């Protein structure tokens, strides 16, 4: 089988696009999709200081690599969740990647800040680990970017992640969440920095292939907590449909975005204000992070900031 662009040997078939590529043409296709996302959605420019949220997995490291190669100003923030072997090897991959590319990475370690990892912390809170993890990550990325002059936070969410999230939000008709489901969330006066998802046009399979073909050393093991995450169920359901009807996933998500541009959902009526405890923006009395912290036992409440590793 030959590459549809240059007739070299095929290394990957992309059913949803009915395409076959050799290594060089696939890498070209992948990077073109990222550039297209950045320009089409006006994500950032070379003047921006970009904080990349890195977990050590394929998505965030592939994103960071594309941005570094394209010459953007980047640094990364990694959250060490304190899940024994998984977190140790994730942090190791992130630090090694940064060193190889001469980039800065900051790490926020939950066990250092609160003496608890995400599993113990969610036990104390009687809340699913992914829910606590989401609150902590969003808070730390936003706060760190604001306090250190980063103008954009970039995350490695791919097409599969976004389609699964859309399915979950549609199943419950969660309008507030649907409104936030966009590859770009603009900064606002209340204190949220701009957030972008440059991989939103690329599937998980394509990101894995790009990482493998570029020799990116990422943590292959999934977070052990993901097994209990509803996102996994939505992904499985969408994969079943995609298998029968390639292109459905992309159509589902990209058509939603198109419709949002043509006839948007009514804007949110939620008013934001500064959290009285920490100053970060929130629509509740105190922000989700401070609420979590106030429920932890005394010594675990300390709000520790990230450090350079
Ligand atoms: Fe956090 Fe859950 Fe994702 Fe693990 S699977 S990184 S706990 S959100
Ligand atoms: Zn707060």
Q: What is the pLDDT of residue 300?
A: 67
pLDDT digits (tens, 9 = 90+) for 259-287: 999 999 988 888 999 999 999 999 999 99
pLDDT digits (tens, 9 = 90+) for 188-201: 988 999 999 999 99
φ, ψ of residue 14 to 5 degrees: the values are: -115, 100
Residue 131, both tokens: 């829910």
Distance, CA of 152 to CA of 223 (rounded, Å) = 25
| Nearest ligand 1 atom, CA 118 | 7
pLDDT digits (tens, 9 = 90+) for 68-87: 999 999 999 999 999 999 99
133, 89, 126, 131: which is closest to 110 by C-alpha?
Answer: 133
Which residues, chain by chain, have CB under 5 Å from ion ligand 2? 275, 277-278, 287, 290
Q: Is the pLDDT of residue 138 over 90?
A: yes
Among 94, 222, 229, 230, residue to substitute to test ligand 1 (most atoms within 8 Å of Cβ): 229
Among 223, 224, 230, residue to substitute to test ligand 1 (most atoms within 8 Å of Cβ): 223
| Nearest ligand 1 atom, CA 130 | 2
Q: Is the pLDDT of residue 306 over 70?
A: no
Instruction: Quote the percentage of the chain above a pLDDT of 90.
Output: 88
Look over the chain and give the mean of its residue pLDDT values, rounded to a whole number.
94
Handedness of CA 100, 73, 250, 128 (dihedral sign): positive
> pTM of this prediction?
0.95
Helix axes 159-171, 204-213, angle to 10 degrees: 160
Q: What is the pLDDT of residue 269?
A: 85
Which domains does the chain possess? 38-217+229-270 (3.40.50.620)
Among 117, 133, 155, 235, residue to substitute to test ligand 1 (most atoms within 8 Å of Cβ): 133
pLDDT digits (tens, 9 = 90+) for 19-68: 999 999 999 999 999 999 999 999 999 999 999 999 999 999 999 999 99
Q: From atom 8 of ligand 1, which residue's Cα is the shortest distance away?
A: 130
Q: Is the pLDDT of residue 304 over 60?
A: no
Report whether residue 57 contacts ligand 1, using a CB cutoff of 6 Å.
no
Q: From atom 6 of ligand 1, which residue's Cα is the shortest distance away?
A: 223
Measured in whole angstroms, how far is the alpha carbon of residue 11 from the centre of its chain? 27
Report whether residue 54 contacts ligand 1, using a CB cutoff of 6 Å.
no
Q: What is the pLDDT of residue 309?
A: 64
């Amino acid at each position: 089988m030959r590459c549809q662009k240059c007739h070299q040997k095929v290394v990957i078939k992309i059913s949803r696009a009915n395409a076959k590529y050799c290594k060089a043409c696939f890498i070209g296709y992948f990077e073109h999709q990222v550039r297209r996302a950045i320009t089409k959605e006006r994500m950032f420019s070379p003047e921006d200081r970009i904080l990349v949220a890195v977990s050590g997995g394929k998505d965030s490291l592939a994103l960071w690599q594309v941005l570094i190669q394209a010459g953007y100003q980047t640094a990364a923030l990694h959250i060490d969740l304190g899940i024994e072997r998984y977190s140790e090897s994730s942090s190791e991959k992130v630090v090694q990647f940064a060193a190889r590319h001469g980039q800065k990475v900051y790490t926020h370690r939950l066990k250092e800040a609160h003496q608890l990892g995400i599993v113990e912390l969610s036990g104390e809170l009687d809340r699913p680990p992914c829910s606590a993890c989401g609150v902590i990550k969003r808070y730390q990325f936003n706060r760190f970017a604001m306090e250190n002059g980063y103008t954009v936070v970039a995350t490695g969410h791919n097409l599969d992640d976004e389609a699964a999230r859309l399915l979950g939000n549609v199943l419950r008709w969660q309008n507030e969440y649907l409104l936030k489901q966009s590859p770009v969330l603009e900064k606002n006066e209340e204190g949220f920095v701009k957030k972008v998802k440059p991989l939103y046009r690329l599937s998980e399979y394509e990101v894995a292939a790009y990482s493998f073909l570029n020799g990116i050393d990422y943590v292959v093991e999934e977070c052990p907590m993901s097994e209990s995450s509803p996102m996994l169920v939505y992904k499985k359901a969408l994969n079943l449909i995609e298998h029968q009807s390639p292109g459905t996933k992309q159509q589902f998500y990209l058509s939603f975005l198109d419709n949002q541009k043509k006839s948007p959902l009514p804007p949110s009526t939620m008013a934001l204000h500064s959290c009285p405890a920490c100053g970060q923006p929130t629509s509740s009395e105190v922000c989700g992070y401070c609420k979590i912290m106030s429920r932890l036992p005394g010594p675990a409440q300390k709000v520790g900031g990230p450090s350079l590793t």
